[in-house]
Amino acid sequence: MRFLSRKLNYWSVRGVNGPKPVPIFGNVLQLFVKPRPLVEKEWIHKYGKIYGYYVQNNPILTIAEPELIKLVLVKNFHLFADRRHEESSDPIIDNSLTNLLGDDWKRVRSIVSPTFSSGKMRKMYPMVRQCLTDFMDHLEVIVGDGEAVEIDVKQVFGNFTMDVITTCAFATKTNSHKELNNPFVVNAKRIFNISALQLISLIVLPNFALKWIESSPINTLQFLIKNVRQILAKRRLNKDGDKYNDFVQLMVDLHKDPHINDNAITDPNDVNEAHHLNEGAEELLVQKKALNTSNKYMSDTEILSQALMFLLAGYETTATALSASSYELALNPSVQQKLYEEITAAMDGDGEIGYEELAKLPFLDAFMSETLRIHSPAIRVSRLAATDFKLGDTGITIKKDQMIEVPVYAIHHCEDFYPNAEQFDPDRFMPHNRHKIIPYTYLPFGAGPRSCIGMRFALMEAKLGLAHIVSKYRFSACTHTDVPLNYKRDLKMTFPKRIVVAIEKRR
């Protein structure tokens, strides 16, 4: 016990504030009692923008000062390039970009990054649009022409994003709206509905034991891996000359010609979007340096890993973003009207809106940015120190292999950075106000070379979906609309338990 007490005094003897830990658990129990984003918000308010806490007896430093965030995520990225990852028994899981470390991460990221360039997104745009057509047809059936209908939008948007992901990743239609028992859909959704008991079993039980539990996360992942492997094998044997523009095909093409994406460029229209707030010459130079490698080879295992990551990372996060958007539209009628007017003015005579036009709409971008600020799907960003590091002029030295975290949700809800932080106000992100936002306080996709690789795709999908829905339907609050939302107790992501609103066709 004396040894444990010494370990749990790590921050206090160094003059770093933080919540009081308890032996064995550290501060983990507090994170199970209340949703983590709300706990971190309380901790910042109580202990300041630099505090220490414990996972069991492991000390972790949390930073919410913008300059320190830049110092870690950008300026010294080479010293904080990795996240902590406990190896599983499955190489498919271990080789995803989210889990890769060191030179392997650098190599795979440099190969995959151009796959999400504006040029590639433009090719996927019609595929997303077709999925949206199916979604709008389904919405027509649900809502009809009568009075407003109450809907848990998480379910319907989840089906839409599942169709988009399976179409754009594997050129596979899942028909999620009609085929509710489609095995692909069922297993993908299971990943995001792991119970507390399953979470504990995942930590405690060895993988060979988990495989005997039918609904375990391991078996669910194995089902998805098997299906992705079959799709990849078919593409390798494709003798019909069929040409796909999906993610798997891009990976197959890369395997044949590792330098196929060397000249991929970024569309100048992208700079209109708020996610570029943290970018400058220094940031772009760091990113270029971080991804500079001559090794352009990817194994089949690595290709499978990235395809699976694309599926899992793109499903619930985008569905939650769209659901949160409908929630804010329902609670803010004047905002909804302003967005409707901008969107309909930009549409052509057939009610369509092109890729370039979509990226140029200032209020749509501001609305989506404010939605991602208040309802950021990622709770925090974490990095592992590669060596001992003096953290600016704080007097704190981060030891080698120590974790440092950035509490994204708490920063987004901090009054020091966003006055009236709980108020939904898209004008914060309008071009004439954007300069007031302090760099590295808007982090829905992270920052630096290890930021979310699918950011551009997620924004395109969410904006296109929202534009067409708002042009034809109106959202409003109803008796079952939760104000505020109730969140799942998840340690990594921010997912509401439900989002119920009323929806009716515009007349």
Annotated binding site: 452
Let me know: does 41 contact 61? Beta carbons within 8 Å. Answer: no
Rounded Cα–Cα distance for residues 389 and 436 (Å): 31
CA 489 to chain CA centroid, nearest Å: 17
Lookup: tokens for 133: 């057509």
406: which DSSP letter?
E
Q: How many Cβ atoms from other residues are within 10 Å of residue 48's Cβ?
A: 14
Let me know: does 234 contact 191? Beta carbons within 8 Å. Answer: no
Lookup: tokens for 63: 């930073």
| Spatial CA neighbour of 444 closest among 460, 436, 455, 435 | 455
154: which DSSP letter?
H
Rg, the chain, Cα only = 23
Let me know: does 113 contact 291? Beta carbons within 8 Å. Answer: yes
- Cα first-last separation, the chain: 70
Annotated binding-site residues for heme read: 452
Q: Which helix (H) or strand (E) holds 164?
A: helix 153-170
Rounded Cα–Cα distance for residues 119 and 369 (Å): 23
Phi-psi region of 272 (alpha: psi -120 to 50; beta: other; left: phi over 0): alpha
